[in-house]
A and B are shown apart, each in its own frame.
Chain A
Amino acid sequence: MTHRFRDLLALEPLTADELSFLLDQSKPFQEIQRHPLKKLATLRGKTVALAFFENSTRTRISFGTAASRLGADTMNLQAEASSLKKGETLLDTAFNLNAMKPDCLVMRHAASGATHYVARHLDIPVINAGDGTHEHPSQGLLDALTIRDRLGTIKNLNVTILGDILHSRVARSNIHLLGKFGCRFTLCGPAMWAPRELEKIAPGTPIRCVYRIEEALEGANVILMLRVQTERLNEPALSSDDYILLYQLNAERLRSASRDAIVLHPGPINRGIEITPEVADGPQSCVLEQVTNGVAVRMAILYLLISGATETDTHPALEMKPKESANASD
């Protein structure tokens, strides 16, 4: 079954079938990460614009690596150096980038919905690399791919998400993806970061908020850690000492989870705050696999969107120039 995608803005509107297709299409690119020569010429001559209006290291490098391994060139826009600082509107910046004729725009922005807004005004595929507290679709996909590789399935799992869920687009993308495969979610963190309203963000998906970490970890197959933004940890609401005491994932607490439970973290890790080095570097941790899979998932996304946008509507069997089309298998 083939699926067509114009943009990739969020996982929430996608069906389980479409999500499976995206994960399956990442497999050939996982193999390429193991090749001695990792560079393809598939998107030679294409240009991917990377517009990160909010700081990012991993995601930007990952998309840049994905583009270059597919043979595409990249244009880079970084927040600090951009004209936004000089008062240009977001849309003007996007139009100016688009005027340099990229074939795809990868965009991150601190405001939820900013990527949708820009996508509505551009005729090239737009990929959301994280918008505010809304979604981070490529992260959701790479997490699901990592889980599927380790546990053999993403169906009907108990997923525990730990940390600042309220502000996390990673948590939302994961809930919207895994929820469509029958996963059940337990959200755990300080009450201000795991409000009960979150139980209703994905109708049809069982989500519960609990406030004791031992209870949250019980029977978990997947533990999804979120980065604690240390600037949000301050007296008197919650000091980092309190956070460590109440919510840090350490080896002892990990034992309440299922024996083969895996631990994911989107990075960057605050060692010794939300997770102990023992767990982060332990056999249950998938942190570095996530990073490797990130490149594969992003190659699949870029390939699907850019080749989809290049596509001619004619079916090859009925095309008038027979020489180009006959024996498609040849």
Chain B
Amino acid sequence: MRIVEKAQLMSAPEIDRTLQRLAHEIVEKSGGTKHLGLIGIVRRGVPLAQRIAQAMRGIDGVDVPVGVLDITLYRDDLSKVAPHAVLRSSDIPFGVDNMDLVMVDDVLYTGRTVRAAMNGLFDLGRPKRVSLCVLIDRGHREMPIEAQYIGRHVQTSDTEIIEVRLSEIDKEERVVLVDRVE
């Protein structure tokens, strides 16, 4: 089996524009940045959350706090994650009680990551509201979970994989669609 790149879905400037738009949407729908907190889901949700927070500074002049959440321990599939059993630290430097939290991740797929992230968040307290922001929604949900803020919808087949590559982690900046070929 080989993995081949089929198409580029987003370029670096497109990612940037999309994040700007998402930041505006979040601020608009939340009625400002008061009580707002962003939770980046490890790994690629973290730089995305930081960039959205930076964009919000440009809109409202306010620093929105950003937390980091590693969901490995909250997954429902112990055997599947074991090959990457390296745990990263979660770091949420603010109290989540009564906060308006937006979880940020790169791709929304089955919804299992989000389910796990919510379990993790509720272990820390009782947020007033939790919503979800993703760069790409690729469908194929296995749980009743939807994102409130979506960068782009992409129709995919089961065998395809969407790779969000960010300069902070991958040394390049684009979103590609890859496929497995026999």
Contact = CB atoms under 8 A, between A and B. Distances in A.
Interface residues of B, number: 44
Nearest to B124: A35
A37 interface: yes
A25 B87 contact: yes
A300 B70 CA distance: 15
Contacts of A35: 123-124
B112 interface: yes
Interface in A281-330: 300, 303-304, 306-308, 310-312, 315-318, 322-330
Nearest to A306: B78
A41 B74 contact: yes
Interface string B68-100: 001001110111111111111111000000000
A41 B3 CA distance: 34
A88 interface: no
Contact of A322 (B43, B82, B159): B159
A2 interface: yes
Question: Which bracket fits the contact residues of A?
Answer: 35 or more
Interface string B125-165: 10000000000001010000000000000000011111000
A26 to B, nearest CB: 9
B180 to A, nearest CB: 7
Given A36-B124, A330-B109, A43 B78 contact: yes
B108 A330 contact: yes
25 contacts: A2-B85, A2-B86, A25-B87, A28-B73, A28-B89, A28-B90, A32-B73, A32-B123, A36-B124, A37-B123, A39-B123, A40-B74, A40-B123, A42-B73, A42-B78, A43-B78, A300-B87, A303-B73, A307-B79, A311-B79, A312-B82, A325-B80, A329-B105, A329-B113, A330-B108
Closest 5 pairs between A and B when the two form their complex, measured CB to CB:
A330-B109, A311-B82, A37-B123, A310-B79, A307-B82
